[in-house]
Amino acid sequence: MPEEYGLVAMALVFITVFYVFVDSGFSTAIIQRKEITKSDLSTVFYLNLGVSVIAFIILYLLAPLIAKFYGNIQLVRIVRTLSLMIILYALTIVQNSLLVRDIRFKIKTRIELVSQILSGIIAIYLAYKGYGVWALIWKTLLNQIFVNIQLWMSNRWLPSFEFNKNSFKELFGFSNKLLVSGIIDRVYQQINRLVVGKFFPAAELGYYTKAEQFNNLPSHTISNSLMSFLLPVFSKMQDDIERLRRAIVKVIKIVMYFNVNAMLLMFILSEPLIIGLLGEQWRGAVPYLRLLVFVGLFYPMHTINVQILTALGRSDLFLKVEVYKKIIGSTSVLLGIFVGIQAMICGMIVTSFISLAINTYYTNKLLRLGLFEQLKCISKTFFVALIMVILMLPLTIFLKSYLNNIELLILISSISFFLVLFISNLLRLEEYTEIKLIVTKLIKRNG
């Protein structure tokens, strides 16, 4: 139910901020460094674990104050239980970073998928048995536990009993700016939920959170995969700027081809998607999803541009970019407080595009690849997606009276898929041709 999702979201606002302190930018440092020693890894592991225990204690003690802030006594137990996530997360940082560093993404994807399925099945059973909000809490905890088990089984690395001060100084020299920028970014990401949870009923936070989850499926899933993949790949190209530039252009074209079409299709199908999959009680999430789609439209480009700075070892510029972006983005929070949730999301759309201009400023200085050049790369993709919207949106509205939500979802998704492929082939889009080659190679390899 929306209210139960809202309660869990309230607790996770604070927990996810503590994740940044636990990581402290060391996961990125492990991936970015050309050489990494066993001593470096053990040092990071014990540091992460130590900070996580301190963070758990702090959050455990703060739970009554958090409950008082939101005006909901249930949050004391919820926050204290979910705080265990911090320690569980700390145990995965080095192991996960090693998978990313070695570009073992197939294993990483399998771990995440298996964990989601297993925890989801248990959560459904608990919900059926009437556990309510605790079904969601156990899903969250069990998902992390399953991830931990599989990560430690997949990696041969084990920590040795050593803490090297020199390793700490070297790694922290790079990661300290990432820590500050990470704190700024995470607080900014969560402050919208904080505002919704504080000034609106828990159900509204549930609607907003669920809309965010759907919006994040294409945009953040692609971006999180990119962050894992691009950093080690770009880091290896940091001494060959022209090669790096060509790789970035190709990545932008391919990734945005997927994201733009997926996000605008979600805009068309927002109502049948939410109501068809979740039920009529979630209708309140529909208007939020329709707007959030435009927040996520350029999200992968943000990720690509900040990963370029990290790959080139410019964590100082990374920090500058985050500070500028968050100062501008804070205006949307004020809209949420004084006007409403939809006004806040509209503010997020505007500040998202301004933030992209800031992100690409330093990319232009370092690689001669600014905002105009990057938008030019994806202009044909937007043209294809626009044709899809012009044709499919009226058809969806027309068929709404004749089909149920699931039938409408399947039919419009299928027609849109083949329409996009047809137009892409007709226009001979480079990104479409590149994707075809990649898919063909994968089929031949697995065939």
Task: Supply the DSSP string of 168-227, one letter for each residue.
Answer: HHHHHHHHHHHHHHHHHHHHHHHHHHHHHHHHS-HHHHHHHHHHHHHHHHHHHHHHHHHH
pLDDT tens-digit map of 94-107:
888 877 777 676 78
Which two tokens mark 376?
A: 């030019």
pLDDT of 223 strictly over 70:
no
Per the structure, the count of domains in the chain is 1
The answer to whether position 261 is within a domain reads: no
Contact between residue 143 and residue 119 where contact means Cβ atoms under 8 Å apart: yes
pLDDT of 360 strictly over 80:
yes
The answer to whether position 381 is within a domain reads: no
Give the pLDDT band (50/70/90) at residue 266: very high
Tell me the average pLDDT across 7-28: 78
Q: Which domain holds residue 155?
A: 1-199
User: What is the rounded CA–CA span in Å between residue 152 and residue 161?
Assistant: 17
User: What is the rounded CA–CA span in Å between residue 286 and residue 400?
Assistant: 15
The answer to whether position 97 is within a domain reads: yes
What average pLDDT does the chain have?
81
- Of 187-191, 232-236, 255-259, 430-434, give the lowest mean pLDDT range: 232-236
Which two tokens mark 236?
A: 């290896």
The answer to whether position 111 is within a domain reads: yes
Contact between residue 139 and residue 121 where contact means Cβ atoms under 8 Å apart: no
Looking at per-residue pLDDT, the higher value among 315 and 286 belongs to 286
The answer to whether position 205 is within a domain reads: no
Closest CA to 309 of 329, 297, 324, 296: 324
Tell me the average pLDDT across 254-274: 91
pLDDT of residue 293: 92
pLDDT of residue 124: 82
The answer to whether position 406 is within a domain reads: no
pLDDT tens-digit map of 155-168:
888 888 877 777 77
Q: Taking the C-alpha atoms of 84, 90, 91 and 93 in order, what is their torsion angle to the nearest 10 degrees?
A: 140
Residues 6 or more apart whose CB falls under 8 angstroms from that of 413 comprise: 265, 269
User: What is the rounded CA–CA span in Å between residue 358 and residue 360?
Assistant: 6
Number of Cβ within 10 Å of residue 365's Cβ equals 11
- If you search the block for the tokens 């604070």, which residue do you land on? 14
pLDDT of residue 240: 67
pLDDT of residue 386: 94
The winner for highest mean pLDDT among 125-129, 176-180, 259-263, 307-311 is 259-263
Contact between residue 336 and residue 196 where contact means Cβ atoms under 8 Å apart: yes
- If you search the block for the tokens 């609106």, which residue do you land on? 200
- Of 27-41, 105-119, 421-435, give the lowest mean pLDDT range: 27-41
Percentage of the chain modeled with pLDDT above 90: 16
Number of Cβ within 10 Å of residue 99's Cβ equals 20
pLDDT of residue 296: 87
Number of Cβ within 10 Å of residue 105's Cβ equals 13
Residues 6 or more apart whose CB falls under 8 angstroms from that of 287 comprise: 342
Give the pLDDT band (50/70/90) at residue 230: low
The answer to whether position 309 is within a domain reads: no
Q: In whole angstroms, how far apart are CA 403 and each of 252, 285, 357, 429? A: 37, 21, 42, 34
pLDDT of residue 414: 93
Give pTM, 2 decimals: 0.72
pLDDT of residue 178: 64
pLDDT of residue 415: 94
Tell me the average pLDDT across 153-181: 73
The answer to whether position 427 is within a domain reads: no
pLDDT tens-digit map of 387-399:
999 999 999 999 9
Which two tokens mark 140?
A: 């969250």
